[in-house]
Amino acid sequence: MSAVFNFTFVPWFRSVAPYIHLHRGKTFVVGIAGEAIAAGKLPHLAQDLALIQSMGVKIVLVHGFRPQVNEQLAAKGHEAKYSHGMRITDSVALDCAQEAAGQLRYEIEAAFSQGLPNTPMAGSTVRVISGNFITARPVGIVDGVDFKHSGMVRKVDTAGIKRTLDFGAMVLLSPFGFSPTGEAFNLTMEEVATSVAIELQADKLIFLTEIPGIRTSPDQPEGEDNPIDTELPLAAAEKLLASLPNPTQPTDTAFYLQHCVKACKSGVERSHILPFVVDGSLLLEIYVHDGIGTMVIDEKLESLREATADDVGGILQLIEPFEKDGTLVKRDRTEIERDADHYTVIEHDGVIFGCAALYPYPEAKTAEMAALTVSPHSQSQGDGERILKRIEQRARGMGLKSIFVLTTRTMHWFIKRGFAQVDPEWLPEARKRKYNINRKSQVLVKNL
Ligand SMILES: CC(C)(COP(=O)(O)OP(=O)(O)OC[C@H]1O[C@@H](n2cnc3c(N)ncnc32)[C@H](O)[C@@H]1OP(=O)(O)O)[C@@H](O)C(=O)NCCC(=O)NCCS
């Protein structure tokens, strides 16, 4: 084994440790689009899910089957029918759905049963348990269209699912539900996953989809200047959703977003849209700081927000002790009053206990994050990180490529969060002129 390997593997493994601790004992509901299975992604997905489960996460897996049902319909020479963005399930389509679900369950169970030596599944023991956990009701007749055997979730047997999870098994659900009269209804993977996540009050709802996530400008074509928005606060996600047309295709921006928003509004703090084409996307989202894909997050209590002139007193009070001990550069009241709208604050019960300012240098496509502070009483609870994420999002929204900080004592905090040190020469011209040589601050940059 080369020495280089030790130097890369050990820090890498340690950097993952906080996320392993964080997620142990949590419940994740993972919805996998049928397209992912059709694209041959199941073996790697099963390996990743088995690994995540072995690190103490309780997993409910919901599979989709859109392409598989359509394939069965085509084989029978029957046309797939849709209305209002939903499948109309006649008796032939119901047969096809049942056949497709049966086949997929076998495939999924088989994928979790592998354990050949020298493969990632070696030594894994994943019990997969499926069952009649979902009670359904018919969609019925909408605008004169009879949806026949298409249904909606009416009830989720949360006690049954929780017992199965506590028993150490992975719960596997097909998009099917049964009415109290025993009639089967064809549901959608997205609705089942969302309802189960809400009823369980899961810690995460994750969709593995055919889209890479939500772009910062969803109506613009993809490109380097229109990256994936890795974190969407619930309020912003709701606003975006309201501006979008009703989705009809899984590739429409609102398609998965509507379910993420619904879950977040109903108490599931984080919901994710990930691309299944990226190998290991689940691991990258869950165990890496910046993740991949889009996470819709309920920031609880609306405490994280942009500052107003009324917050100036609170900001001054918060940063003053750090100015006195030299951690922060002195700023006077007039300067903060003038720049109040550059600040993001965390407020609780009328008290500001965290802040940071963003000063853009649009000509250099970058911005300085300044005065990042969290009150000593509430440090180490992730607020510093929440402010950083919001600042990154504001900068991305301005079309900037990076943010930078000048720091004398907090380098490691920033480096751990994806910043890298650069020479002060790197600074935009306008900022370089104000650089205080005597303070010898280090310059750290994070690409967005
Ligand atoms: C840096 C600061 C904003 C972090 O806020 P926070 O809410 O405590 O941050 P988080 O909860 O997201 O992260 C806390 C982690 O960072 C670590 N940390 C805090 N200060 C650090 C520093 N100076 N260097 C390295 N790590 C640091 C904590 O030990 C904690 O680690 P743990 O989770 O292993 O216990 C806060 O410590 C602060 O206000 N410091 C004083 C002002 C300052 O230095 N601002 C930066 C100006 S450039």
* pLDDT in the model for residue 78: 93
d(CA 59, CA 50): 9
Using a 6 Å CB cutoff, which residues line ligand 1?
A: 322, 327-328, 372-374, 379-385, 405, 407, 409-410, 412-413
Nearest CA owner, ligand 1 atom 30: 380
Does residue 401 contact residue 447 with C-beta atoms inside 8 Å?
Answer: yes
Coil vs helix vs strand at 366: strand
Nearest CA owner, ligand 1 atom 35: 380
For the CA of 409, the nearest atom of ligand 1? 23
Distance 392 CA to ligand 1 centre (A): 17
For the CA of 410, the nearest atom of ligand 1? 23
* pLDDT in the model for residue 349: 62
Amino acid identity, position 148: K
Does residue 59 contact residue 28 with C-beta atoms inside 8 Å?
Answer: yes
Sheet with strand 270-275: strands edge to edge: 128-130, 170-173, 58-63, 27-32, 204-209, 270-275, 294-297, 231-233
Distance 378 CA to ligand 1 centre (A): 10
The residues, ordered by sequence, that sit 6+ positions from 225 with a Cβ below 8 Å of its Cβ are 399
- CA end-to-end span of the chain: 35
Strands (E), 84-189: 86-87, 128-130, 134-138, 141-142, 145-146, 151-156, 170-173, 176-178, 184-186
Longest dimension (CA), the chain: 80
Nearest CA owner, ligand 1 atom 10: 382
Q: In what helix (H) or strand (E) does residue 348 lie, and over which residues does it extend?
A: strand 343-348
d(CA 371, CA 143): 56
Distance 375 CA to ligand 1 centre (A): 10
Q: Describe the crossing of helices 158-166 and 189-200 by its angle, rounded to 10 degrees.
A: 80
For the CA of 407, the nearest atom of ligand 1? 48
Q: Which residue, chain included where needed, has tokens 């098994």?
A: 169
For residue 50, report the phi and psi dihedrals to the nearest 5 degrees.
Answer: -65, -40
d(CA 144, CA 99): 29
* pLDDT in the model for residue 378: 81
Strands (E), 64-175: 82-83, 86-87, 128-130, 134-138, 141-142, 145-146, 151-156, 170-173
Distance 67 CA to ligand 1 centre (A): 48
User: Within 10 A of 262 (CB to CB), how many other CB atoms are there?
Assistant: 20
Does residue 374 contact residue 384 with C-beta atoms inside 8 Å?
Answer: yes
Q: In what helix (H) or strand (E) does residue 209 lie, and over which residues does it extend?
A: strand 204-209
Q: Which residue, chain included where needed, has tokens 């598989």?
A: 68
- Ligand 1 mutation pick, 14, 392, 413, max ligand atoms within 8 A of CB: 413
Does residue 105 contact residue 62 with C-beta atoms inside 8 Å?
Answer: no
For the CA of 371, the nearest atom of ligand 1? 47
What's the Cα-to-Cα distance from 357 to each of 59, 307, 323, 327, rounded to whole Å? 39, 9, 15, 15
* pLDDT in the model for residue 318: 94
- The CA-CA-CA angle for residues 371, 375, 378, to 5°, reads 135
Distance 369 CA to ligand 1 centre (A): 15
User: 180 — alpha (psi -120 to 50), left (phi > 0) or beta?
Assistant: alpha
pLDDT tens-place values along the chain, 448 residues long: 567 778 888 888 888 888 898 899 999 999 999 999 999 999 999 999 999 999 999 999 999 999 999 999 999 999 999 988 789 999 999 999 999 999 999 999 999 998 877 778 888 889 999 999 999 999 999 999 999 999 999 999 999 999 999 999 999 999 999 998 999 999 999 999 999 999 999 999 999 999 999 998 888 888 878 889 888 889 889 999 999 998 988 889 999 999 999 999 999 989 999 999 999 999 999 988 778 899 998 876 448 899 999 999 999 999 999 999 988 999 989 999 999 999 999 987 677 889 999 999 999 999 999 999 999 878 888 889 999 999 998 999 899 999 999 999 899 999 999 999 999 999 999 999 999 888 899 999 999 9
Distance 385 CA to ligand 1 centre (A): 9
Coil vs helix vs strand at 236: helix
